[in-house]
Amino acid sequence: MNLAIGQSAPEFSLFNTEKTKISLTDFKGKNVIILFFPLAFSGVCTKEMCSVQENFSAYQKLNAEIIGISVDSLFTLNKFKQEYHLDFNLLSDFNKETATLYNCLFETFVFEMSGVAKRSTFVLDKEGTIRFIEILESAGDLPDFDAIQNCLKELNA
C-alpha cells in the first residue's frame, strides 16, 4: 500500500545502535524526519548521512528529530555512526518490516541483492501525520534537503 501525505505514519519499533528499542511514538510532539537509506558505508549513503549531520543544528532548531533506517545490522550501523560522528538515531530494519510498511524496499538492488531500502524521506508533524514523502528509485540520488527544510519551516510557522 502506498502512503500519502495527510495519512498517519505507520507505527514501528526497531533497535538503535545502543541496542535500545525505539518506537515512532517515542517522538510524539516533535516533527520527525525518517530517512531510509540503502546501505551503511556506501558512497551516497555516507554523503547523505554526513550532510544531515552537517545540518543537524538547523534540524534541531526546526524541532525535528532525525531517524535513519537501513536494513543493515545494528552492529554495522553502530560502526557507521561512530566513524562519521552521527548525532541522531540509526535504526536497524534487518527484517525489512518497516521498509515494507513504508513501501520503500527495492525488490532487486545492485549485485542481485534483494530487500534493500530505497533512499526515502518521510517528514511527520508533531501528531505523526505524514507531511512530506520522497521515495527515490535511483540509489545514486540524494534527498531534496531544501524541500525537507521548507516542509519543517511550514510545520513550525
Domain ranges of the chain: 13-156
Question: Which superfamily does 13-156 belong to?
Answer: Glutaredoxin (3.40.30.10)
Cell reading at 68: 535513519
Catalytic residue list: 45
> Positive or negative, the Cα torsion across 82, 85, 89, 90?
negative
> Any residues with CB less than 8 A from the CB of 105 and at least 6 apart, and which?
96, 99, 115, 116, 117, 118
pTM: 0.93
pLDDT tens digits for range 82-130:
999 999 999 999 999 999 999 998 776 655 666 889 999 999 999 999 9
Long-range CB pairs of 18-25 (<8 Å, 24+ gap) are 18/78, 19/74, 22/67, 22/89, 22/91, 24/124, 24/128, 25/128
pLDDT tens digits for range 39-67:
999 889 999 999 999 999 999 999 999 99
